[in-house]
Structure 1
Amino acid sequence: MSGTAKAVVLAIVAVLVAGVAAVGVVWSLNQPDESTDAASASAPAVTGRPTPTTAPRSVSAVNLSDADRATLTENEILLHNPLYSAGQVAAAECSSLPTARLATERAMIRYASAFVECLNRAWAPLIKRSGFKFTPPGAVHSAPTGSDSACGVMDKDVGAFYCDVDQGIYFNWPDYQVEESYWQEAGRVSVQYLMAHEYGHHVQWLTDLADGYNSRWGAATGTAARLREEDRNEMQAHCFAAAFFGANQKTLRLHGEQLAHYGHPGFQRTEVGDNFGSWLRQGFRARGPSACNTWAVPWTKVKFT
């Protein structure tokens, strides 16, 4: 069993804590001209240099036409996205996931891909109710450390990333490979959360949240300001993942230690700070994105440390 997997097998909370540094999103616009420093160790690798936005105004419509969306600023779509008021994530049928041991590349990619299908069934109704078009993400790609992708090279410290060029999820599967039979359930939990988080970035892409984020990131001045935007973006994807698990705790048969760590009142006491656990708990209990508006609160409420 790999070192990364061992770090997350004891409980779902360990999976989520490890996920902060192991997941991310890579937007494909322009590379930033500032290198990431030590302060970004817990932040994802993010690129983008879109146009600054104007001040937001209230947006209450849920079913937006293409013409309606074209009139919104990027900041408005972040603060008042119709997704927030569209209801809960659906309880999806997820009982037919592969049972093969997660010991090979084939088994790992097959399991991750099957879980993404489950995520499709859960998120599609909500995306459509929000007034956006639903399209499934691209393939789950095998992407060990050093392998190339449409959005760059897989870093050794990244477990997976979502790429907007092909809407694919690139999975550094050797970090989650599990050979021992007694670690299989924990290994599957690790992969499930990893995929749910990356799928959260796909949800952002489908609902124009990614455009708004790119705009704010590009308008931010300096590394520290950009890291604050990255915190908001990543925390929202984590919250979306938790909302999925909250809506699907029965279909996924979450029980015992797994369920306790997801919904426990003390869950915010994690190694990465109270905010992380707080957003996970909010998303899990709400079972939907209404609890995941990380753009409408002070940065101190979304920072990871």
Structure 2
Amino acid sequence: MQWGKGRRSDNVVDGRGGGGVGRLGGGLGLGGIAVVVVFGLITGQNPLDLLAMLSEQGTAPAHTQQQPPPAGDRDADFVSAILGDTEDTWGALFAQSGQQYQQPKLQLFSGGVRSACGFADSAVGPFYCPGDQRVYLDMSFFREMETRFAAAGDFARAYVIAHEVGHHVQTLLGVSAKVDDARRRGASMEGANGLSVRMELQADCLAGVWAYHAQQRLNWLEPGDLEAALNAANAIGDDRLQQQSRGRVVPDSFTHGTSAQRARWFRTGFDKGDMNRCDTFAARSL
């Protein structure tokens, strides 16, 4: 994949190095905690109450210490190129329907991160939080894709990013709000045909829509790239992951769809680049 052709986004922020993970006292070290204790004793306030208050403040999304990735970071440059092209693609598609695309931030993190959706560690994998409209990515996941899932290649990585951006598109289009409303009304979110599965498969399809338009504009795919993305979609299907971890498949606990479904819906978006073909909620067969 000739990803160097992509326009770099200004929306990649670097939260690596501990800036996104909370500590006792809202991120205070031992020296800071000692200062708070002394201040409390002088003013007659309970130091524990002060620390608790600071700790609560520390549970909010930590965006203040973030900055652009350093120059020369090739992995971050790749992320910036892919995100930049999703901005161009979705900006144009939204404009065609008289809407304005609101670009998400993409936060790089290492180990763990706080978001408006709560704390998450790297084991969660890449995710999108509608509460702050950010994509969160620990790039160690890309290495895990290669070693654990045997899913290598730049376009495979690009698919992962585009899938999370697909969730942002769902938020802007109101899909996420409708699913949340259905969940509050008791609709099933899991299972082979649950709302969660349909939402994830739609994000796969939207990733395919992006890939189609990016290829039409930049002609940056090389032989084997599409197969790499489809292999990645296959590798992270619920059935395959459950078979690897449990030794058996439990469809009632599916949240993202089977390997075949994930690859099929990505290919559906990629073949025509038509968002209207991505209505997984109306599909009788996934």
Provide closer, same or farther for how the CA distance between residues 233 and 284 of structure 1 changes in structure 2, counting only shifts above 3 A.
same
Of 200, 206, 209, the residue aligned with 2:175 is: 209
Gaps of 5+ in 1: 1-11, 13-92, 99-103, 179-185
Of 173, 198, 202, the residue aligned with 2:139 is: 173
Q: What pairs with 1:46-85 in structure 2 (closer than 5 Å)? A: none
Count matched residues: 194
State the TM-score, normalized to the length of structure 2. Answer: 0.58
Query: Alignment partner of 1:157: what SS?
Result: helix
Provide closer, same or farther for how the CA distance between residues 229 and 190 of structure 1 changes in structure 2, counting only shifts above 3 A.
same
* Larger-gyration structure (1/2): 2
Of 89, 110, 125, the residue aligned with 1:159 is: 125
Structure 1, residues 50-95: CA drift from partner, whole Å, max 9, x if none? xxxxxxxxxxxxxxxxxxxxxxxxxxxxxxxxxxxxxxxxxxx971
Provide closer, same or farther for how the CA distance between residues 218 and 226 of structure 1 changes in structure 2, counting only shifts above 3 A.
farther
Q: Tell me which amino acid in the other structure corresponds to 2:183.
A: W
Provide closer, same or farther for how the CA distance between residues 170 and 111 of structure 1 changes in structure 2, counting only shifts above 3 A.
same
Larger RCO (CA within 8 A; separation ≥ 6): 1
Gaps of 5+ in 2: 9-16, 18-68, 145-151, 241-257
| Per-residue deviation, 1:177 | 5.0
Structure 1, residues 251-288: CA drift from partner, whole Å, max 9, x if none? 25212112356689xx9xx8534322221221111112
Higher helix share: 2
Q: Is the 8 A contact 1:220 1:226 kept in 2?
A: no
Map of 1:243 onto structure 2 = 209
Of 263, 266, 283, the residue aligned with 1:277 is: 263
Provide closer, same or farther for how the CA distance between residues 111 and 237 of structure 1 changes in structure 2, counting only shifts above 3 A.
same
Q: What pairs with 1:218-229 in structure 2 (closer than 5 Å)? A: 218-221=184-187, 224=190, 228-229=194-195
Provide closer, same or farther for how the CA distance between residues 115 and 215 of structure 1 changes in structure 2, counting only shifts above 3 A.
same
Whole-angstrom CA distance in 1 between matches of 2:188 and 2:280: 21
State the TM-score, normalized to the length of structure 1. Answer: 0.54
Greater CA drift, 201-210 or 215-224: 215-224
Provide closer, same or farther for how the CA distance between residues 157 and 263 of structure 1 changes in structure 2, counting only shifts above 3 A.
closer
Q: Tell me which amino acid in the other structure corresponds to 1:128.
A: A
Whole-angstrom CA distance in 2 between matches of 1:195 and 1:263: 14
Of 198, 204, 210, the residue aligned with 1:232 is: 198
Q: Is the 8 A contact 1:232 1:294 kept in 2?
A: yes
Q: Is the counterpart of residue 119 in structure 1 residue 119 in structure 2?
A: no
Map of 2:5 onto structure 1 = 95
Map of 2:96 onto structure 1 = 129
